[in-house]
């Protein structure tokens, strides 16, 4: 599918780093989470929309390749685009970059679940339409 890329600017703060001033590996996942959240918000699917539809999105699978470290005070961007879309799941292709250099890249599979049962469920048709339209140019 590969939709247009969404990009979120970020800065590395002391809380993101280890004692050596290098970004701790798990924080790349946090940066990616922020990009996914803002991407969905830009499309009109903020937390209010999601909770009003009695659904949640949960991470099912993450595969990340760490290439080179970010450091304290770096300006970064976290990106997100839809690589694959199913009725109840989305695979997001994501990167964290400094300038054009990819620091970490991976795919994150997210599944739509019912809030009450936590069992997979189809996304609302209007949501699927908007997500599918991201791939059309």
DSSP 72-103: TT-EEEEEEEEEEE-SSEEEEEEEEEETTEEE
Indicate which CATH number applies to the domain containing 36.
3.10.129.10
Instruction: Provide, for the chain, the percentages of residues in helix, strand and coil under a 3-state DSSP scheme, each rounded to the nearest 5.
Output: 25, 40, 30
Q: What does the block give as tokens for 77? A: 């961007």
C-beta of residue 124 within 8 angstroms of C-beta of residue 114: no
- The Cα–Cα gap between 84 and 68 comes to 27
Residue 48 lies in a domain: yes
Residue count (the chain): 137
Coil, helix or strand at residue 4: coil
- The Cα–Cα gap between 63 and 93 comes to 10
Confidence (pTM) = 0.92
Q: What are the two backbone dihedrals, phi and then psi, of residue 70, each rounded to the nearest 5 degrees?
A: -95, 160
Residues tagged active-site: 18
Q: What is the pLDDT of residue 136?
A: 63
pLDDT class of 3 with cuts at 50, 70, 90: confident
Residue 1 lies in a domain: no
Quote the domain boundaries for residue 114.
Answer: 6-133
Residue 111 lies in a domain: yes
Q: What are the pLDDT digits (tens) for 84-115?
A: 999 999 999 999 999 999 999 999 999 999 99
Residue 109 lies in a domain: yes
Q: What is the mean pLDDT of residues 39-68?
A: 92
pLDDT class of 134 with cuts at 50, 70, 90: confident
The DSSP call for residue 64 is E
The domain total for the chain is 1
Q: What is the pLDDT of residue 137?
A: 47
């Amino acid at each position: 599918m590969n939709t247009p890329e969404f990009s979120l600017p970020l800065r590395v703060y002391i809380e993101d780093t280890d004692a050596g001033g290098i970004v701790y590996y798990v924080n790349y996942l946090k940066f990616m989470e922020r990009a996914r959240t803002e991407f969905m918000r830009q499309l009109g699917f903020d937390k209010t929309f999601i909770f009003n539809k009695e659904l949640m999105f949960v991470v099912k699978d993450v595969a990340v390749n760490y290439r080179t470290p970010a450091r304290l005070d770096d300006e970064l961007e976290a990106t997100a685009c839809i690589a694959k879309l199913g009725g109840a799941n989305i695979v997001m292709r994501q990167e964290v970059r400094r300038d054009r250099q990819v620091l970490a890249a991976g795919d994150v599979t997210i599944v739509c679940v019912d809030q009450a049962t936590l069992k997979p469920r189809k996304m609302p048709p209007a949501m699927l339409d908007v997500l599918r339209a991201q791939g059309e140019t």
